[in-house]
Amino acid sequence: MDQKPGTKKCGHMGGKVLVSTQDHIQRLIAIRLQADVLNSPLVLVARTDAEAATMIDSNIDPVDHPHIKGVTVKGVEPLYEAMRKGTDKDWEERSGCMTFPDAVAKALKAKGQDPAKWLQDARKMSLDQMRKAAAGMGCDIFFDWDSARSVEGYFRIKGSTEFCIERAIAFAPYADSIWMETGKPILAQATQFAKEVRAAVPHQMLAYNLSPSFNWDSAGMTDGQMESFIWDLAKLGFCWQFITLAGFHCDALNIDLFAKEYSKRGAAAYVQMIQREERKHKVETLTHQKWSGSEIVDEMGNIVSGGLSSTGIMSAGVTEKQF
């Protein structure tokens, strides 16, 4: 992931701090180099948390410039000063804190002009290039990104799908697959991401986290749309789809349900809820001794003893003969 060491956290938690795009590219190169040195096969997945992150530790990379927020109102105290004084509650509004592209878009709207083309073009510009382009459109914008830095010194950013797209394109030469961590399972967002990334890098494989951290029932999808979601993603190029913590939630749910019934119905709960269901659905763990490899161990013992072993696991006395 493209988060900063020391502040890294789950992609669905707050307070995420990114490293610069170039910094993460160097990480990807280092990972590939180490795999090459060890002659080890590797599928390298580059994840970006740029949709929901709120800070970045450096403004060194021009790829990041259109997404870094700054003060657009002169005379307002810096954010870190407002936070220390406790006057930061309305600081965003007072300072006009926003990205440079958004500040220019606001000025263009005030002139009655459509900012759509500007916002698209600005995604590929450094701050100096944006300033020059804005001046050419008659927009004299005050912008100070240092005054918007946090008390830790981090630059503040506007997380977005567009930021993820720009990072994905930059990471593509150094990764096998790109993963954009998202806040909700939204097909339109995945479609935008996939189409724009693959327009720039047609071969790029993509990854998607079907996360249990999402409240899927509040995502605005019908059950039918949920059912087709992974296939819809697959058509877009999302080759690796996964549910983080699926096993954790499955185990917790089933143990909880079983424990409650066991407290009421004893062994009958185990037989009815588990053993009979294993038999009904032909789940191999019904005969867990065989499933765990006991027959293989017995075969190895016979080889070693020349077929004279009398201590076989699956010999007389094994309860699995009941099945």
Which residues have a catalytic role annotated? 10
Residue 271 gets which letter from DSSP? Answer: I
Query: What is the rounded distance in angstroms from the CA atom of residue 155 to the CA atom of residue 99?
Result: 11
Query: What is the rounded distance in angstroms from the CA atom of residue 180 to the CA atom of residue 199?
Result: 16
Tokens of 138: 């008659």
Residues 6+ apart with CB under 8 A from 41: 35
Contact 24, 2 (CB under 8 A): yes
Q: List the one residue out of 180, 150, 144 whose CA is nearest residue 163.
A: 180
Contact 1, 48 (CB under 8 A): yes
- Classify the C-alpha dihedral 124-130-134-135 as positive or negative: negative
Residue 19 gets which letter from DSSP? Answer: P
**Cα 95 → chain centroid:** 31
